[in-house]
Amino acid sequence: MNKPSSTYRSDPTDRSDRSDEKNRLLGSPLPARGEGSAELDESHWLLPVYSPHTPVEPVRGEGAIVYTRDGRALIDFYGGHAVALLGYGHPRLVAALANQAKELFFQSNSVALSLRARAAERLVRFGPEGLTRAFLVNSGAEANENALRLAFRHTKRTRIVALEGAFHGRTAAAAAITWKSERWYGFPRPPFDVTFVPRGDLGALEAALGADVAALILEPVQGQAGAVALGAPYIAAARELTEASGALLIFDEVQCGMGRTGHPFAAQAYGVTPDLLTTAKGLAGGFPAGAVLVSDAVAAGLKYGDLGSTFGGGPMACALIETVIETIESEGLMERVRALSASIRETCQVGPVRSIQGDGFLLGLRTSRPAKEIVKELLEKGILSGTSGDPDVVRLLPPLILEESHVETLAKALAEIRP
């Protein structure tokens, strides 16, 4: 069948007709269009908020390897900011996605779905004992936003305590509890009172937990700060202090959860159950999904209309949440994380790496030179890694399906890099 020439393009990257059309409609010329470069094309159409880009364009992935447009194969030790939990093209995930897309792509929360009930049950059972209900959303910030809302509602208090170095997201409430987001990501002021305390300082925490504090929120392993594990003793003490002050304890496990510590959540790794736990990123292996896990006490009294989300808990996300958890458990991926994390610690303190921090597959390599230089040099050697808020920490967030041979390649590459 002949397609009208105005809409048919044999090369999907050729946007000349669209930019010409837009130029005409806008009446003023747009900046020059990129010539086959994703970087230039993105800067032509998107807000320039994510640069500088990693200078490669992945076009395909298999396992922990991504293949770039210019024909390189890279071991992905960054996992798209911890999202590609099962790597790329995992057969179970691909099958679940395709089957669910054929069966039922979307239905809202105004109808009950057994698939949604199954995904929630699986997630609750995967989570720490004592958190008995799930609320399904689309992202980490949305999960944190709802966790805070539940804490305010439950305690009828008005202040949140958060930790220095914390990253909790970019919406108004999540940005308010994010360390050093002075500009509130464009909002003129925080929507509620927040006190930040230095991490590890229990005296400061105790002093901050006044009678107006609804919740303490913390990442058991801080991600953006550079993979900083708060440690079991601090977390256990935080549990005791919040209980004593009547504040709730929220774990933000958006980055460190879903098997990444070698346990379902850091809550289980450290043996501490919070009142609320948020998860997202790898929850559905790359499909947008987030969740809040909630204790019975916090869930009590919630009624129709108290919370809501259009896309949260949609069939695609639910099918993938179910499959991700099933895969982590049936393929022994948490055991793999524990073993390979130990092997990274044993073999990768070489070249520019002074020490290794973090937990499981959320690791920070503290380097003798700026992390961004090491990330660049690793990329030249075929390894994708990432930076963090700490300029001297290279962050590793590999998929849980990583293999021993990938760790060997990383260790060899680091050993070859100038200290």
Ligand X SMILES: Cc1ncc(COP(=O)(O)O)c(C=O)c1O
Q: Which of 88, 135, 167, 361 binds ligand X (CB under 6 A)?
A: 167
Please report, as residue ranges, which positions from 216 to 275 form the binding site for ligand X (by CB under 6 A). Answer: 219, 223-224, 252, 254-255
Q: Name the residue number minimizing CB distance to ligand X.
A: 140
Pick between residue 161 and residue 417 the one whose CB is nearest to ligand X.
161
The answer to whether 139 contacts ligand X (rule: CB under 6 A) is yes
Size of the site for ligand X (CB under 6 A): 15
Q: By CB under 6 A, name the one of 168, 260, 263, 406 that touches ligand X.
A: 168
From the list 61-69, 134-142, 299-307, 360-368, the region that binds ligand X by CB under 6 A is 134-142
Binding track, positions 299-328, relative to ligand X; x by CB under 6 A: ------------------------------
Q: Which stretch binds ligand X (CB under 6 A): 23-31, 135-143, 264-272, 332-340?
A: 135-143
In one-letter notation, the amino acid at residue 62 is E
Is the Cβ of residue 163 or residue 402 nearer to ligand X in the bound state? 163
Task: Please report how close the Cβ of residue 252 comes to ligand X at its closest, in angstroms.
Answer: 5
Residues 176-215, one symbol each (x = binds ligand X by CB under 6 A, - = not), give ----------------------------------------
**Shortest gap between Cβ of 233 and ligand X (angstroms)?**
21
Kindly tell me which of 222 and 295 has the beta carbon lying closer to ligand X. Answer: 222
Minimum distance, C-beta of residue 241 to ligand X, in the bound complex (Å): 21
Q: How far is the CB of 28 from ligand X (least distance, A)?
A: 34
CB of residue 73 to ligand X, shortest distance in Å: 27
How far apart are CB 222 and ligand X at their closest, in Å?
Answer: 8
Please write down the HEC assignment for all residues of the chain. CCCCCCCCCCCCCCCHHHHHHHHHHHCCCCCCCCCCCHHHHHHHHCCCCCCCCCCCCEEEEEECEEEECCCCEEEECCHHHHCCCCCECCHHHHHHHHHHHHHCCCCCCCCCCHHHHHHHHHHHHHCCCCEEEEEEECCHHHHHHHHHHHHHHHHCCCEEEEECCCCCCCCHHHHHCCCCCCCHHHCCCCCCEEEEECCCCHHHHHHHCCCCEEEEEECCEECCCCCEECCHHHHHHHHHHHHHHCCEEEEECCCCCCCCCCCCCHHHHHCCCCCEEEECHHHHECECCEEEEEEHHHHCCCCCCCCCCCCCCCHHHHHHHHHHHHHHHHCCHHHHHHHHHHHHHHHCCCCCEEEEEEECCEEEEEECCCHHHHHHHHHHCCEECECCCCCCEEEECCCCCCCHHHHHHHHHHHHHCCC
Q: Which of 58, 61, 80, 169 binds ligand X (CB under 6 A)?
A: 169
The residue within the footprint of ligand X, chosen from 58, 61, 140, 315 (CB under 6 A), is 140
Smallest separation, CB 202 to ligand X (Å): 22
Q: Are 237 and 229 in contact (CB under 8 A)?
A: no
In the structure encoding, which two tokens stand for residue 416, read together? Answer: 């070859």
> Which residues of this protein are in contact with ligand X, per CB under 6 A?
81, 139-141, 144, 167-169, 219, 223-224, 252, 254-255, 280
